[in-house]
Structure 1
Amino acid sequence: MRLFPFIKRITTPLQLEVDVHSHLLPGVDDGVENLGKSIAILKGLWESGWKKVVLTPHQMEGFFVSDVEKLEKIKKELEEELKKEGILLQLELGGEYYTEPEIVEKIENREEKLLTIGGKYLLFEFPLGFISPLVERMVSAIKNRGLTPILAHPERYPYLTPTDYQELKEMGVLFQSTIGSFGGRYGKNVKKRALHLAKEKMVDFLGSDIHNWQDFRFTQHLLTSHSFTYLLSKNPLKNQSLL
């Protein structure tokens, strides 16, 4: 029996089966608080057609759990519970690195183990309220580690202009837009910027950025929208390359 019969199985042009951005590792950041909530949402994702979820807990100095060994242990416990429930969903542990001095220094330290995506990408984010002076240094630090930088939800930074987007692309930065942005989850201005990025074919990855049950419901509802899936099908999405 399906746990969420109200969710339509995804059969859209997107063929979206890999989520590259989520906060479903329980109790480590501002995402799901406990194992039960994590299992419930992951089961819902699996039942609606997803095959793989990349867990990307915030990497922000002094605020959230950043010890890699501890995060890996929690991920293993989560995988064991999924197996008990018969949920055949692949999990991968990545991270969402905040652009700040301590994090940039951590990335620059070649002895530091990083939470990558697929061993080749690193997801990072900017401050929402101000332009960081560390943008170029952050991008260079990631690339110097032999990784390709992916900017999380570029549409959510109100200070970025179309020219800024183009310059980031020229620096070798890939863009991961949040599914909910296209449905107005974060406001009309964020939606407008997300649509601009999609129309300019600048979106490389899509992610749910799920923190809670409400995010899950909003994301799954939007993925059944023909206009949304048609628009994003025109972008060269790289999600499936991670299967």
Structure 2
Amino acid sequence: MIDLHNHLLPNLDDGSQSFEESLQLALKLVEEGVTQAVVTPHHMNGKYVNPAGKINQVTAQFQDYLDQAEVPLQVFPGQEVRIHAHLIESIREGEIQFLDREKHYLLLEFPTAHIPDYTEDVIYDLKHLGVTPIIAHPERNHAIQKDPRLLFDLINQGCLSQVTAASLAGVFGSDVKKQALEMLDHHLAHLVASDMHDLGFRQAYLEEAFTFLEKELGPDRVRQIQEYARQVINGVKIKAPSAQVLPQKKRRRWFGLF
């Protein structure tokens, strides 16, 4: 199994805070069946700045650490980059780390509460460069939660998306779990990753998530999701079925007595 989104690298963001902790997180991923992981520290999210050069350096150090500890996990440099208006300039300046060597896939994070007005322009420019944005955890974005048609529009513009295993495990509540499943079922989401930060609340949940998906969507769909991850890491173009729009959530109406 391949994990495309996690915060294993030490001392770079709100994930692991030491090589020793990173080792424990890696062991947990291996326990859940992961053999390859793209490590994706936050970048330009208003708190953390982790350009590609720094990520590559720490990834190499961490791989050496894993090899010395005889942990059977291969790690590759990646990045969870917060969308910003000057993202294309950042790519040209070499600050952005893609999920694959061919630079076809980019893990793109939105602010929690909304989708910026310039998003469509940035995605257009990314596609023009031959880059497919993979939207991280859309099921946890408040704007998309309220109106899933926003995600439908993004997928139709050429994006893919990735839900968090913890969402499918119910960690963020039943509503998020239901919406994450619906996104995968309607091909609004294509990938499942751990977004692992620690061994507590933000652990991997991959085994639990895929067991749930196999029950709900069947083993063939699970194999497809896992194959998509392999295609991403190898820079192969994913040919996903057409997305199906989810209905907008109905607003609750309150009736008073007069």
Which category describes the TM-score, using the shorter chain as reference length? 0.7 to 0.9
- Determine whether 1:78 maps to 2:68: no
Q: Evaluate the alpha carbon distance shift between residue 209 and residue 45 of structure 1 in structure 2; reply closer, same or farther with a 3 A threshold.
A: same
1:189 aligned onto 2:189: no
User: Residue type of the partner of 1:52?
Assistant: Q
Contact 2:32 2:207 in 1 (8 A): no
Is residue 21 of structure 2 the alignment partner of residue 37 of structure 1? yes
> Aligned match of 1:64 in 34, 39, 48?
48
Q: How many residues were matched structurally?
A: 224
Matches within 5 A, 1:108-187: 110-118=92-100, 119=102, 120-160=104-144, 161-187=147-173
Superimposed CA distance per residue, residues 58-104 of structure 1 (whole angstroms, 9 cap, x where no aligned partner): 11165214232222211111111100011121111111111223445
Query: Is 2:218 aligned against 1:229?
Result: no
Shift of 1:230: 3.2
Shift of 1:147: 1.2
AA in 1 matched with 2:98: T
Q: Which residue, 206, 215, 220 being the options, matches 2:192?
A: 206
Using the TM superposition, name which of 30-39 and 212-221 deviates more.
212-221
State which of 216, 224, 239 in structure 1 corresponds to 2:229: 239
Q: Which amino acid in 2 is paired with 1:142?
A: L
- SS of 1:214's partner is coil
- Give distance in 2, aligned partners of 1:224 and 1:201: 16
| Aligned mates of 1:228, 1:23 — CA distance in 2 | 23
CA contact (8 A) 2:28 2:204 kept: no
Structure 2: runs of 5+ lacking an equivalent: 235-258
| Highest RCO, 1 vs 2 (Cα 8 Å, sep ≥ 6) | 1
Would the alpha carbon gap of residues 23 and 80 (structure 1) be closer, same or farther in structure 2, given more than 3 Å must change?
same
Sequence identity of aligned pairs in percent? 29
Partner amino acid, structure 2, of 1:195: L
TM-score w.r.t. the length of structure 2 is: 0.79
Cα distance in 1 for partners of 2:159, 2:210 equals 29
Distance 2:79 2:13 in 1: 11
- Label 1:201 to 1:230 Cα distance change in 2 as closer, same or farther (>3 A): farther
Scaled by the length of structure 1, the TM-score of the pair is 0.83
Q: CA deviation at 1:132?
A: 1.0
Residue 48 and residue 163 in structure 1: after superposition, are their counterparts in 2 closer, same or farther (change >3 A)? closer
* Residue of structure 2 equivalent to 1:90: 74
Q: What are the superposed Cα offsets for residues 37-74 of structure 1, whole Å, 9 maximum, x if unpaired?
A: 10111022123321101101111165214232222211
Measure, in 1, the Cα distance between the counterparts of 2:156 and 2:12.
Answer: 34
| Paired residue type of 1:114 | I
